[in-house]
Amino acid sequence: MIDVATFGETMAALRARDPIRLGGTMRLSVAGAESNVAIGLARLGHRVRWTGLVGTDETGELVLRTLRAEGVDVSHARADGRGPTGLILFERRIGDLTRVIYHRAGSAGSFLDAADVLPALDPPPRLLHVTGITPALGPGPADAVCTAVRTAAAAGVRVCLDVNHRSRLWTRDAAAEVLRPLASLLSVVIASDDELELVAPASAATEHERVAALLDAGVSEVVVKRGADGATGHTLAETLHAKARRVPVTDLVGAGDAFVAGHLSGLLDGLDLAGRLERAVTAGAFAVASPGDWEGLPTRAELGLLDALPGSTLR
Ligand code: ATP
């Protein structure tokens, strides 16, 4: 049985060492919010399936090969010739400020539709994870998310949404129009504090009211990510805050996806809210302390590494 099914667009990712307009060396990898979560979960020992479309090109092969190598099931992912594999460029501009450039309009991934993802939910997984990025890619991906969420919820599968608003892909109003109707079908909502209003009812005016409205609508757990300030988890029974782990910041990109992987891992393991948040902030810290979106994510055996004394060598 698959523990977590997820789907979305995974792109080829190029990371520049220098400002892109100056040229120079770039490192090739892959990046996508949902596949980052899938890799994080696979490293923690869970059975994960990622579904999506890549182009019939070498970068598409790279995406599938990378996910396979990380132990992610890609049996329902496929190459589609209607567009190329998307491309994302990361440029470290100053300090830890990263600039992202997308070449994803018209990509193969933007042709994903419900017919591509429904077979991947049969037999039903324990959890379905979706993000608010996928519905921003076009009408097919939006329908895929809405149909998958409805289908999974009807089958009793817990659904997690990471709101992950991407303002370069769609407006806040457009996001709210798609995400709010899904709220009552969700078990876990994960959002940054400025994203909660995109899934909570428009009538809720404060974070407190938004959380209360979501819990009232049937969401079991609302988790608010606060970057270096950690995260707050809310259930009907309790509200807990977890501090971020103190680590040297190498690359902030991917922290949110690592956090989601840690949290869902805790949920699958039956940890209580404190345990889930602890695993989430630990995975988030691994992501910020290592380069790349997902490359530095911990295996289960490595979760305790952050407790080693700074500067120590593990022999
Ligand atoms: P992104 O979209 O860049 O992946 P996000 O906005 O979704 O990130 P954040 O709130 O920035 O998510 O980070 C998620 C979690 O990662 C935080 O709750 C925290 O636990 C951890 N984290 C983020 N920044 C830091 C940091 N500077 N130091 C330690 N942990 C961090």
For 107-161, the pLDDT digits (tens) are 999 999 999 999 999 999 999 999 999 999 999 999 999 999 999 999 999 999 9
CB 289 near ligand 1, within 6 Å: no
Q: What distance in angstroms lies between residue 167's CA and the mean position of ligand 1's atoms?
A: 18
The yes-or-no answer on residue 257 being catalytic is yes
CB 249 near ligand 1, within 6 Å: yes
Q: How far from each other are the two terminal CA atoms of the chain, in whole angstroms? A: 37
User: Do 135 and 39 meet the contact criterion of CB atoms below 8 Å apart?
Assistant: no
For the record, the structure tokens of 108 come out as 């193969």
CB 223 near ligand 1, within 6 Å: no
Domains of the chain, each with CATH number or no CATH: 4-10+33-75+113-297 (3.40.1190.20)
CB 40 near ligand 1, within 6 Å: no
pLDDT digits (tens, 9 = 90+) for 189-247: 999 999 999 999 999 999 999 999 999 999 999 999 999 999 999 999 999 999 999 99
Closest residue by Cα to atom 26, ligand 1, is 228
CB 100 near ligand 1, within 6 Å: no
Q: What distance in angstroms lies between residue 230's CA and the mean position of ligand 1's atoms?
A: 7
User: Do 127 and 3 meet the contact criterion of CB atoms below 8 Å apart?
Assistant: yes
Q: What distance in angstroms lies between residue 225's CA and the mean position of ligand 1's atoms?
A: 7
Q: What distance in angstroms lies between residue 302's CA and the mean position of ligand 1's atoms?
A: 19
Helix, strand, or coil (residue 192) = strand
- The rounded mean pLDDT for the chain is 96
Integer-rounded Cα Rg, in Å, for the chain is 18
